[in-house]
């Protein structure tokens, strides 16, 4: 790794790759949940997570040791989410950037409290609140190798109908998770 420049023009020392790996692997689930919470789509979140990981590696020389790696990483992730939303505006349900600006710090606070496990529990609670048909549709769609087209054939519905149902379900899960966050991150 080469040395990078500080804002004042002085060179920063090269960093050890294993320091990045240690920090990143210890909090990658938090970073992913942060991104997912802003996009509320598994596939979009995965794409942005991968892009974020690359940028984190590229900019790691600028990270100040001893500071909050999760906060630094999530700030970069936030900008990647905004760019992704701009590039995919027609494909993503419209939540305003103002809304994201207000929610992002709250999400970071919850995630930074080592809340990834709490978010897993809350998502499980939100999934449990869905009716059985919707829950089954989610499980079918997100099992390995599944596609919306295959799920549609399996349940005997059109691809468009399954796509619309999944969008409705995603929105319900998003609102449920948002409700948990607004309640201070506590399970109901």
Per-residue DSSP letters for 101-114? Answer: HHHHHHHHHHHHTT
Domain boundary among 69, 85, 114: 114
Residue 92 reports pLDDT greater than 70: no
Higher pLDDT, 8 or 55: 55
pTM of the model: 0.50
Residue 161 reports pLDDT greater than 90: yes
Mark whether 128 and 110 lie in a shared domain: no
What's the mean pLDDT in 68-85?
91
Number of domains in the chain: 2
pLDDT single digits (tens) 93-122 = 555 555 566 666 666 665 655 555 666 677
Alpha-carbon span 65 to 75, nearest angstrom: 16
Mark whether 162 and 83 lie in a shared domain: no
Which two three-digit tokens encode residue 23?
């920090």
Residue 175's domain comprises 115-188
pLDDT score of 17: 79
Long-range contacts made by residues 115-120, C-beta under 8 angstroms, separation at least 24? 115/30, 115/185, 116/29, 116/30, 116/33, 118/185, 118/187, 119/33, 119/37, 119/177
Higher pLDDT, 112 or 175: 175
Which two three-digit tokens encode residue 29?
């689930």
Mark whether 80 and 153 lie in a shared domain: no
Domain boundary among 114, 138, 173: 114
């Amino acid at each position: 790794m080469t040395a990078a420049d500080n804002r004042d023009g002085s060179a920063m020392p090269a960093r050890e790759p294993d320091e990045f790996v240690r920090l990143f692997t210890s909090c990658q689930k938090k970073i992913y949940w942060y991104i997912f919470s802003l996009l509320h789509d598994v596939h979009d979140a995965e794409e942005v997570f991968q892009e974020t990981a690359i940028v984190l590696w590229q900019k790691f020389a600028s990270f100040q040791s001893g500071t909050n790696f999760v906060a630094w990483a999530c700030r970069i992730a936030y900008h990647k989410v905004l760019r992704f939303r701009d590039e995919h505006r027609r494909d993503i349900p419209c939540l305003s950037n103002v809304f994201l600006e207000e929610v992002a710090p709250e999400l970071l606070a919850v995630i930074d409290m080592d809340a990834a496990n709490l978010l897993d529990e809350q998502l499980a609670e939100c999934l449990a609140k869905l009716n059985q048909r919707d829950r089954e549709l989610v499980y079918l769609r997100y099992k390995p190798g599944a596609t919306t087209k295959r799920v549609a054939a399996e349940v005997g519905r059109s691809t468009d109908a399954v796509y619309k149902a999944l969008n409705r379900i995603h929105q319900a899960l998003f609102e449920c998770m948002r409700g948990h966050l607004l309640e201070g991150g506590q399970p109901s």
